[in-house]
Amino acid sequence: MTTRTDFIPLNEADLAASTVSLGRLRDTLNNVLFGQEHLIEMVTIGLLSRGHLLLEGLPGLGKTELVKGLAKALQLDSKRIQFTPDLLPGDITGNPVLQEIDGKRTFVFQPGPLFTNLVLADEINRASPKTQSALLEAMQERRVTVMGESHVLPGPFFVLATQNPIELEGTYPLPEAQLDRFLLKIEVRRSGVETLEKIVLNRKIGIEPEVPTVLTRDELNQLLDLSQRIYLPPVVANYIARLVDGTHTVGSLGIKYGASPRAALALAAAARSRALLHSRPNAGTEDVRAVAHPILQHRIILDYNARLDGASTATVVEKLLAEIPAQELERPKTLLDAKLR
């Protein structure tokens, strides 16, 4: 096993500074969306991991408001794309436009709304699969290719998408390749009575809450760098590998297709980010378990019989966490050792 020689561990000053900055961001987002502390923690973890986020929930739960609030809290350029059935790929990536330059007519690429730091893909599953696929290259490689010419997207680059449950009318299921590019898929649940009362007292229809900028671009980039300097012990890396491998090898759970290697990288990045969020220099197995559901659920495909029996990917992940130990059991060296066990 090879180890990194360029790794620079975090010191107490780095952790203290990050705690203050992240505390400001979380407090601001909690004032945008009341009673959703867990959701905001997951969004912050996704941001620190440089990942794309998919928020799923019924209309009116505040998904769009949260993403807009995040854009205002960060000193980043942001654009919103409202996905509709008639939206075309060029409406997202941009199109070549015929222009006259120095007396000659030539095609000049005009960037679309994808060329920004933070993209709000609102109701992404209301567009056709062809339009949804326009995001594949951008989300993976941070660039767009049009007519054979590649254009690099600005950094940092995040796609925060909202989608309605597939049962609602006028929705298209996202392709597996696109789902795999979302670091986290987070379910947005409805609020309780106390939260609804707070909303009624502090919000008015048609008036957006004021959101101050709490992190500059330089502060955000520093936090992104710090999250990569969180130490991931070999035992945690081994646990991640066994969890992802379990989505392929545990046949009794009704899994048709398991998670990809990208899921393992996502678990590692999110575990580091959660450790930083909780002011710890090392990631632990508890961090992996805390982010396993929103990372693995949308990457697992169940077979027909499992779905017919009412199984869900959430219950599969729960069983995996229960069956796979945090530390790998020592393998017996001889047949006698195996019998003694």
Average pLDDT estimate for 245-263: 84
Share of the chain above pLDDT 70, in %: 91
Q: Which two tokens stand for residue 307?
A: 């779905």
Tokens found for residue 258: 């398991």
**pLDDT tens digits, 55-110:** 988 877 788 888 888 988 998 888 999 999 899 999 999 988 888 777 788 888 89
pLDDT per residue as tens digits for the range 258-303: 899 999 999 999 999 999 999 999 999 999 999 999 999 999 988 8
User: 183: how many CB neighbours lie within 10 A of its CB?
Assistant: 29
Rg of the chain over Cα atoms, rounded to whole angstroms, equals: 22
What confidence category does residue 169 fall into, taking pLDDT thresholds of 50, 70 and 90?
A: low
What pLDDT is stored for residue 234 in this prediction? 95
Query: 10 Å Cβ neighbour count for 319?
Result: 15
Kindly indicate the confidence band of residue 140, based on its pLDDT and cuts at 50, 70 and 90: very high
Give the tens place of pLDDT for each residue, 17-65: 888 999 999 999 988 888 889 999 999 999 999 999 999 888 777 888 8
Cis peptide before 111 (omega within 30 of 0): no
pLDDT (mean) for 240-251 = 87
Predicted local confidence at residue 329, as pLDDT: 63
Mean per-residue pLDDT of the chain: 86
Q: Average pLDDT, stretch 235-249? A: 93
Bridge pairing between strands 255-257 and 301-302? antiparallel
Integer Cα distance of 70 and 118 in angstroms: 9
Residue 6 has a pLDDT of: 55
Does pLDDT of 341 surpass 50? no
Average pLDDT over residues 138-149: 89
Query: Which pLDDT value is given to residue 96?
Result: 85
Q: Are 247 and 255 in contact (CB under 8 A)?
A: yes
* Maximal C-alpha separation, the chain: 87
Q: Which residue has the higher pLDDT, 185 or 328?
A: 185
In angstroms, the Cα distances linking 240 to 169, 183, 233, 278 are 37, 15, 11, 20
For the domain covering 231-331, report its CATH number.
Answer: 1.10.8.80
Average pLDDT over residues 228-244: 94
CB 49 within 8 A of CB 227: yes
pLDDT reported for residue 271: 97
Q: Tell which wins on pLDDT, 310 or 48.
A: 48
pLDDT of 308: 77
Q: What local confidence, expressed as pLDDT, does residue 7 receive?
A: 60
